[in-house]
Structure 1
């Protein structure tokens, strides 16, 4: 009989099909498990699947007294209370690097769309302004990629792939991360120094208490009036109100975002800027990435139920 696994976050059913072939899934569809299932049903749950950004507290874990494994679908695990899990002897797993290539791709897409003002150019054609030879200050020539200074905050799997991609465009690459890496790019000792140097700040750092709102008004000001910021990490890394203020005051030139303080993100002041390119948190949303993330989830769950260490365990836990 298949082992029972609780699906905590709300996932499209298509993403759970392969996993459901191996395990008996109890789908809470993003609701508190005790609102969907009885205490008796939850009493036997030993493992659960969650999205890394979904808040998962110790109180929620206690609804499943036998819970011993939390498996995150994706690289992130910032929503999981790791201290609570550790105190309850619950192992936490994730899918490290599974979506790194596709997230790096969306980062470069946003970078190019922002710096070359692709959405503005698209509107210029669709509106008929180009055909009417109507002047547009937004269509002035912009600096290209060769020689542009690209700063990458976070040099993990995703950061390295972003660096390799932008280096191919003949840009200069610098980075700041918690530790210096063996990479052929210029290292900066802190985020302030990186922001002072670069014209585009690419955020690829893991979210956590130490990175909450670390990209604040001061960091944005250091980028300068021709500076841009691209975020494909987590919305919590940027002080979103500070970003709105910086765009309003023209402290920086533009932004490209795939993640937000709250998701899904509703239309607001941020969405009204013509110099901001937005995507709905689709960095890892490719067929290859989902297959790779599902492979990690299945491997973690299989190892757990066989009494083996999780192959993709969160070390901080």
Structure 2
């Protein structure tokens, strides 16, 4: 019988995903879900043919240089792959794959949750209840911002951006967007991000973190937005300049922010915790059982194809 490829899985994955992994590969699992630092990852990657990693694993240049020669593929349990040094992998001939397309609806749902929750001051209201400080209904208590007729600016009109637009239209929002290419979408296209920001009563971010987009939403761009706008980020924390957004939240230039991702997470900027007008979630964008299973199966599909000598369905680099 042909020997199964040997695989290192860096984190605990859903049970059905792990079952398929064990059935398909000779698999080293992480049942205690203890994050692996670089040294432990290198140690456990001895005598394996591939790695199934997650966004928490920093697969940087130094780590890649130290990986055993036997490793030929890194399959990431994510759409984003900024945690992997792609150039270093290419130099070593290591294929990298990701899991696009399967988390669109779940992430779009979280974007709408953040948009609604931030606009309607859900965090402040829940805190009143939990801290037993609610004294009863009154006409001016926690007045928020309605969605109907407001302009939603979407930066990055890919799968998730389009799914957010579809949902927001059901709430009566007017959709504006900026994208690298103009789409036949029925929404208002802006040929620059700056043009979009000027009309965005609400702003939802949906573009990848790259060296060019790091710190994209800075003080200058926030100042272009209508006063009292709402900012939602389900993309990557690094596309927002934290100090600039916090200053805008304090000044009222931004009325509220709904954030599911943070630069340096889980060590987010402590200033966010102090702001009553922030709705903060711990990177829940894809956190449904259906979606996490689909992500796992997609990662496995990539691995199976590769070890059969085929092109993986979702290569970042080959």
Q: TM-score, normalised by structure 1?
A: 0.89
- In the alignment, which of 68, 71, 75 is matched to residue 67 of structure 1? 71
Matched residue count: 311
Q: Deviations over 1:127-171 (max 9, x none)?
A: 5655455675x523x442221100011111111111111011110
Task: Write the mapping of 1:1-317 to structure 2, written as runs, cut at 5 A.
Answer: 1-8=3-10, 10-12=11-13, 14=15, 16-27=18-29, 29-32=34-37, 34-35=39-40, 38=43, 42-52=45-55, 54-62=57-65, 63-125=67-129, 130-132=134-136, 139-140=142-143, 142-265=144-267, 268-314=270-316
Find the aligned partners of 2:238 and 2:165 in 1 and give their Cα distance.
22
Once superposed, which parts of structure 1, at least 4 consecutive aligned residues long, lie more than 6 Å away? none
**Gaps spanning 5+ residues in structure 1: where?**
none
Q: Deviations over 1:235-262 (max 9, x none)?
A: 0010111111111222211100000012
Find the aligned partners of 1:192 and 1:227 in 2 and give their Cα distance.
15
CA contact (8 A) 1:4 1:24 kept: yes
Find the aligned partners of 1:269 and 1:37 in 2 and give their Cα distance.
35
CA contact (8 A) 2:42 2:63 kept: no
CA pair 128-4 structure 1, distance change in 2 beyond 3 A = closer
CA contact (8 A) 1:74 1:99 kept: no
Q: Deviations over 1:22-46 (max 9, x none)?
A: 22223475324643665xx745322
**Gaps spanning 5+ residues in structure 2: where?**
none
CA pair 252-32 structure 1, distance change in 2 beyond 3 A = closer
Q: TM-score, normalised by structure 2?
A: 0.89
User: Which of 100-109 and 25-34 deviates more?
Assistant: 25-34
C-alpha displacement of 1:304: 0.8
Alignment RMSD: 2.3
